[in-house]
Amino acid sequence: MSSDAAGMRVTVWGENAHEQRDESVRAIYPDGMHETIARGLRAHLHPTAVVRTATLDQPSCGLDAATLEETDVLTWWGHIAHDRVDDAVVDAVCERVHRGMGLVVLHSGHWSKVFKKLMGTSCNLRWRSAEDRETVWTVDPAHPIAEGVPDGFVIESQEMYGEFFDIPRPDELVFISSFSGGEVFRSGSCFHRGYGRIFYFSPGDQEFPVYHHAVVQRVIANGVLWARRDSGVRASRYELERKDLGWLDAAGGQP
């Protein structure tokens, strides 16, 4: 638990679609994946941190303007209903990220409208759902997201995600994973967009109890802490601005 999280506001967003449809998923996550992720955050973040959940079936997909304005970091999990997320909500989330809201994208959220728009690529990858054994390797142990995380840890049953992963080159790479079939994957990647920080972390399929894994919970909490801007979210994003000659002097830029 870190005092850096004092007073921070986190919104855990989930589709909550598999949980409504699939008994196998309800058996693993009876309260929904979003609630399991939220409980992990509450266990690791400062007691004054506010962690709430939002789901696709709520008005404005659970992410109305007031909710977004009151969110320092948003976590995102989606899979079978990416197309049901309203484009206006996608635009609003991306706008908030550009102004400084942190974003933690989890597992199949790689194919969400939000992540693809922020990355500017297809975000496609190779996959196999066959109870693979995943080993997550820490490749940047000095990174804040790796704090308290072992050099390597094992997830016994997990969906395989493999390269090539069509994302821009990460600004910082914290974790890579290897799988039973020999595949490797950039499983923990950081990006900067505008004033916002984005962390993508791949472990966490709906058919496996990955979000109950203690180290996975720690990584997500660390990702939330890293993504938070201490200075808060800006009132407006950085825009094109014309400057007349002499503006620096007028602003006190000269001794």
Q: Is residue 133 part of a domain?
A: yes
pLDDT higher than 60, residue 181: yes
Q: How many whole angstroms separate alpha carbon 55 and alpha carbon 85?
A: 10
Domain assignment present for 177: yes
CATH at residue 164: 3.40.50.880
Sign of the C-alpha dihedral, residues 185, 187, 188, 189?
A: positive
For the chain, state the CA radius of gyration.
19
For residue 61, being part of any structural domain is answered with: yes
Q: Is the pLDDT of residue 108 over 60?
A: yes
User: Which residues form the domain of 67?
Assistant: 3-237
Domain-located, residue 132: yes
For residue 51, what pLDDT is reported?
97
Task: Assess whether pLDDT exceeds 80 at residue 10.
Answer: yes
The number of domains in the chain is 1
Q: Note whether residue 254 is domain-resident.
A: no
Q: Is residue 95 part of a domain?
A: yes
Under 8 Å between Cβ of 106 and 76: yes
**Does some domain include residue 248?**
no
Smallest Cα–Cα separation from 129: which of 46, 241, 230, 210? 210
Single pTM value for the model: 0.93
Structure-token pair, residue 90: 């996608």
**Within a domain: residue 250?**
no
